[in-house]
């Protein structure tokens, strides 16, 4: 815990840590291993523990069949980020600094909104989109996906912006900046970390969304990668190397974000972010 108490023999703790991590990540390893396995070896007994006769066939299949899905997911993810930040950041600023009368009720509503099951939202959106003719549209999916992130994002912005020194905002006011100007030129640049955390989660959640995609975009021409994998399993349960290769490719954003933005991820988890 503290420096002076650090025992000299920490190597065995590292060893135990490595074993635990290996156990935890075994499914991830297995996914990668299977994605590189030849068709004829997929059902071998015992299985190949390492990709000894490695093949990139699975990845070739992904490149041929799944690229449009990946593109759609990227577009939906970015759209969701923009919508989420646009709606949540001003609200966070207001709740943290302007605190209008009745704002507490809104925060309460945001907290409740986080508890509504996805299936309920999916059914409601289905009914609404059916009447509006918005089923199978990318815009419709962006709106639906943003509902996963907006309440969380608003509360994260509010918590973060509470810490902005009042003097900073007072100085802007003294210089003659209006509320809008203060928000845009002072609050937003200072809140960069919150923007990164929120964007990261909004993107990941939209990228991973399955329930909205499956209910609201099941037949559309532009489907996200989660449906790409889902339909791939449905139509083709022989080529597991291709399925696992798609899964590996679909995990790339998560992996990249974990490496690049690790501390934002931890901040997001502890901010009460849970995948639903």
Partner 1 sequence: MNPTTQNRTRPVRGARGAAALAARPGRGSRPRPGTANWAGWAFLAPVTIYLLAFYAYPMYRNIELSLHHYTVRSFVHGGAPFTGLDNYRKVLSDPAFRPALIHTLVFTGASILFQFWIGMGLAVFFSRHFRLSATLRALFLVPWLLPLIVSASTWSWMLNSDSGVVNHMLHGLGIAPVDWLTSPKWSLVSVIVANVWIGIPFNLVMLYSGMQAVSPELYEAAELDGATAWQRFWKVTFPLLRPVAAITLLLGLVYTLKVFDIIWIMTKGGPAGSSATFATWSYQLGFGNLLPEFGPGAAVGNLLVVMALAFGLIYIRAQRKQREA
Question: What part of residues 144-173 is at the interface with partner 1 (CB under 8 A)?
Answer: 144, 146-147, 150, 154-156, 158-160, 162
CB atoms inside a 10 Å sphere around CB 150:
23
Distance CA 100, CA 92 (A): 12
Distance CA 71, CA 214 (A): 17
Q: Which is nearer to partner 1, 52 or 108 (CB)?
A: 108
CA angle, 222 then 225 then 230, to 5°: 105
Q: Verify cis geometry, omega within 30 degrees of 0, for the bond prior to 18.
A: no
Q: Which is nearer to partner 1, 62 or 204 (CB)?
A: 204
- Min dist. Cβ of residue 195 to partner 1 (A): 14
- Min dist. Cβ of residue 111 to partner 1 (A): 4
Distance CA 100, CA 165 (A): 19
Site for partner 1 in 218-247 (CB under 8 A): 225-226, 229-230, 233, 240, 243-244, 247
- Min dist. Cβ of residue 196 to partner 1 (A): 13
Residue 136, SS3 per DSSP: coil
Q: Residue 106 interacts with partner 1 (CB under 8 A)?
A: yes
- Min dist. Cβ of residue 64 to partner 1 (A): 19
Q: Residue 80 interacts with partner 1 (CB under 8 A)?
A: no
Q: Residue 13 interacts with partner 1 (CB under 8 A)?
A: yes
Q: Which is nearer to partner 1, 11 or 64 (CB)?
A: 11
Q: 101: alpha, beta or left, given left = phi > 0 and alpha = psi -120 to 50? A: beta
Distance CA 194, CA 10 (A): 36
- Residue 20, token pair as written in the block: 């635990």
Q: Which region, judged by CB under 8 A, interacts with partner 1, from 51-59, 61-69, 74-82, 97-105?
A: 97-105
Q: Residue 116 interacts with partner 1 (CB under 8 A)?
A: yes
DSSP state of 8: S
Site for partner 1 in 172-211 (CB under 8 A): 179, 183, 204, 207-208, 210-211
């Amino acid at each position: 815990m503290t420096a002076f108490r650090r025992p000299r023999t920490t190597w065995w703790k590292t060893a135990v840590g490595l074993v635990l991590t290996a156990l935890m990540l075994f499914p991830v390893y297995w996914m990668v291993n299977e994605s590189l396995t030849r068709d004829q070896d997929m059902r071998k007994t015992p299985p190949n523990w390492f990709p000894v006769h490695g093949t990139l066939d699975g990845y070739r299949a992904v490149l041929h069949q799944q690229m449009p899905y990946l593109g759609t997911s990227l577009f939906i993810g970015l759209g969701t980020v923009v919508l989420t930040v646009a709606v949540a950041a001003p609200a966070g600023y207001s709740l943290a600094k302007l605190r209008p009368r009745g704002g507490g009720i809104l925060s309460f509503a945001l907290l409740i909104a986080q508890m509504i099951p996805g299936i309920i939202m999916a059914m409601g959106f289905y009914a609404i989109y059916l009447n509006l003719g918005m089923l199978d549209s990318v815009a419709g999916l962006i709106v639906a996906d943003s509902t996963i992130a907006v309440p969380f994002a608003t509360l994260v912005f509010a918590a973060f912006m509470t810490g902005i020194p009042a003097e900073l905002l007072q100085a802007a006011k003294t210089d003659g900046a209006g509320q809008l100007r203060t928000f845009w030129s002072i609050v937003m640049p200072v809140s960069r970390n919150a923007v990164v955390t929120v964007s990261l989660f909004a993107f990941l959640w939209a990228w991973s969304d399955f329930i909205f995609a499956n209910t609201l975009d099941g037949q559309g021409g532009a489907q996200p990668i989660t449906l790409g994998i889902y339909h791939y399993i449905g139509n083709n349960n022989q080529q597991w190397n291709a399925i696992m290769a798609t899964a590996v490719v679909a995990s790339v954003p998560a992996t990249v974000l974990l490496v690049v933005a690790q501390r934002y991820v931890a901040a997001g988890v502890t901010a009460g972010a849970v995948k639903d």
